[in-house]
Amino acid sequence: MLRQFERLVDPYTPYEENDTPPRRLWPFLLTYSRPFRGVFVATGIMSVIVAAIEVGLIWYMGRLVDLLSLDDPGAFWAAHGTELILAAVFILVLRPLLQGLDVALLNNAILPNFGTLIRWRAHRHVLRQSVGWFENDFAGRIANRIMQTPPAAGDAVFQIFDAITFSIAYMIGAVVLLADADPRLAIPLLIWLVLYGLLVRWTLVRVGPASKASADARSEVTGRVVDSYTNIHAVKLFAHHARELDYAHEAIERTRQTFAREMRIFTVMDISLVALNGFLIVSVVGWAMYLWMAGQASVGVIAAASALTLRLNAMTGWIMWSLSTFFRSLGVVAEGMETIAQPITLRDARGARPLELREGRIELQNLSHHYGRESGGIDGIDLTIHPGEKIGLVGRSGAGKTTLVKLLLRFYDPDGGRILIDGQDIAGVAQDSLRARIGMVQQDSALLHRSVRENILYGRPDASDAEMIAAAERAEAHGFILGLEDPEGRRGYDAHVGERGVKLSGGQRQRVALARVILKDAPILVLDEATSALDSEVEAAIQDTLYRVMEGKTVIAIAHRLSTIARMDRILVLDGGRIVEEGTHDALLAKGGLYARFWDRQSGGFIGTDEAAE
């Protein structure tokens, strides 16, 4: 039966993606709440009904006291037996059913699905962000916000229906109940409600900012800790254990201080609440006793007033904590919105079509990009790469080689100029179709924390095992893959490679990455120091493979080891973001320019230091 409630809302229901989600809290939550509108209305109604039942039970207990004090015990059952049976049936059958419906709507229909819907849509939104967006933040902090925001939003919704709606309905019912017994009994309750409301307001005004500060501090701790773990090799290599502890200690201590300030608010709240509830009990029950002594109220009224005030006394702390939890959760959601609600800045153009790659001609027209700075990147590059041409890019660090490749892949949009592939401006084609036509091997080929099989098939998921193995063999990877075994006992292609592929050596990671690109078989190939992590023997074997893979493709290869690009059709030398030399290897050597100096000064096939190049 509960599965029926769980299926009331599909958290993965199709929706229209918004590149610019709301940046304010309530519009943000309302956007995610749309699929739950009907369930929310039903839950709110049930919460009011449950509160009315609770108040009604207290009223009925007062009635029973009056009946017991007025009637003769012998005649009591005969006069009221049917009423008592009906009351018992209601308490034993109908009340559990109604409360069960209320709880099932909240616990089974809303809570599992609401957080899932937010997490799913938030993850989809974040994955659509540009590479540059990810480069400007900690991966740990982004993941932390994706994980923290959905349960916090779920807690906020839970408190709305479990505490806020219920308590408001209950207090209204309490005022009605006492006023019905004697209007004067409602006066102390109304005074208490005003004072209680002022205390709630005082608390919430302070809890919101305090909980936001605590959430920010916790997120910073996560970011710093994950940063240390991600770079554990550097931590150990430079013996900076103590430095990393100090780095984390600063953030952890800031978290402790912000949390302590938050807890001071709750301590003041608790002390004030105890005093306020003392006033409630004494004033309402004392007033009821005074009316009884004056002959203006029955014993049942005293019993109902006593039960009601004791129930409110027990509830007020819970209500206050629920409200505090509600606003604390909103603070976590607001902090998460700093990531989840950021607009998508690198978007497909309206009506963008798939790239139609016919030949593989690449044209760079007055291309410039400086990453928002006045210098760096590339500046006014004009270049045509003919179909099937193999281009080598050479230059010192910061000359603009990687920037050019990132612009080609549309990881960034250029500050000026444009890139055409077969006459199509890449800014006007679908990003996925563009990247599907480009294969790239980077210098630092990080792998997914999955099996070797999944990593290679990432290049072409529909490839057969035979095609996957053939690609691994061409990348000189098949032999070592067969000997792999992970801590879980998985072997060969089923062995998992660890986070970013850390369980493999640099050369092994590079060969798996090469196999992935070979399997992808894209018509445009980009090699960014593709063989830099390989030893000389393996590199020699891979070089022959790479040249065979390059056949019929348009190729851009970045290299510091100049011997790896000497056979290219054309070599471009970048310096200061501009092309300063171009030609074949022999022609550039004969010219005696920057490339020739690189070649003369290189050691082991690598470009020398910046000073030597100067």
pLDDT 10s digits, 7-49: 999 999 998 888 888 888 888 889 999 999 999 999 999 999 9
Percent of the chain scored above 90 by pLDDT? Answer: 33
pLDDT at 547 over 50: yes
Structural element, H or E, at residue 389: none
What tokens does 458 get? 């990432």
Is the Cβ–Cβ distance between 411 and 380 less than 8 Å?
no
Using CB atoms within 10 Å of the CB of residue 82, give its burial: 0 to 12 exposed, 13 to 18 middle, 19+ buried. exposed
pLDDT at 604 over 50: no
What's the rounded mean pLDDT across residues 408-434?
Answer: 92
Q: Is 371 or 95 the better-scoring residue by pLDDT? A: 95
Per residue in 549-584, pLDDT (tens digit) is 888 889 999 887 787 788 889 999 999 889 999 999
What's the rounded mean pLDDT across residues 355-364?
Answer: 91
Between CA 389 and CA 383 the distance in angstroms is 12
Structural element, H or E, at residue 385: strand 378-385
Range among 50-64, 328-342, 410-424, 521-535 rated most confident: 410-424
Q: Is 506 or 515 the better-scoring residue by pLDDT? A: 515
What's the rounded mean pLDDT across residues 97-117?
Answer: 92
Least confidently predicted of 432-446, 454-468, 481-495: 432-446
pLDDT at 612 over 50: no
pLDDT at 591 over 70: yes
Hey, is 289 helix, strand or coil? helix
Name residue 66's amino acid. Answer: D
Confidence of residue 537 (pLDDT cuts 50, 70, 90): low
What's the rounded mean pLDDT across residues 253-269?
Answer: 89
Q: How far is CA 323 from the centre of its chain?
A: 25
Q: Is 506 or 236 the better-scoring residue by pLDDT? A: 236
What Å distances lie between residue 613 and 580, 599, 601, CA to CA? 14, 10, 8
Per residue in 167-193, pLDDT (tens digit) is 888 888 888 888 877 788 888 888 888
Between CA 126 and CA 129 the distance in angstroms is 5
Question: CATH homologous superfamily for 361-437+564-614?
Answer: P-loop containing nucleotide triphosphate hydrolases (3.40.50.300)
Q: Which ranges of 105-185 would DSSP assign to H, the alpha helix?
A: 111-127, 131-135, 139-159, 165-181
Domain residue extents for the chain: 19-213+262-340, 361-437+564-614
Range among 104-118, 179-193, 444-458, 525-539 rated most confident: 104-118
Per residue in 514-527, pLDDT (tens digit) is 899 999 989 999 98
Report which of 262, 170, 167 is spatially closest to residue 216, judged by C-alpha positions: 262
Confidence of residue 495 (pLDDT cuts 50, 70, 90): very high
Is the Cβ–Cβ distance between 43 and 102 less than 8 Å?
yes
pLDDT of residue 375: 65
Q: What is 19-213+262-340's CATH number?
A: 1.20.1560.10
Is the Cβ–Cβ distance between 156 and 336 less than 8 Å?
no
pLDDT of residue 60: 84
Per residue in 199-230, pLDDT (tens digit) is 888 887 887 788 778 878 887 888 888 888 87
Confidence of residue 447 (pLDDT cuts 50, 70, 90): confident
Strand partners, 555: 390, 525
Confidence of residue 71 (pLDDT cuts 50, 70, 90): low
Is the Cβ–Cβ distance between 184 and 292 less than 8 Å?
no
pLDDT of residue 606: 53
Is the Cβ–Cβ distance between 445 and 526 less than 8 Å?
no
Between CA 133 and CA 411 the distance in angstroms is 10
Hey, is 458 helix, strand or coil? coil
Structural element, H or E, at residue 197: helix 186-230
pLDDT of residue 611: 43
What tokens does 316 get? 């007020």
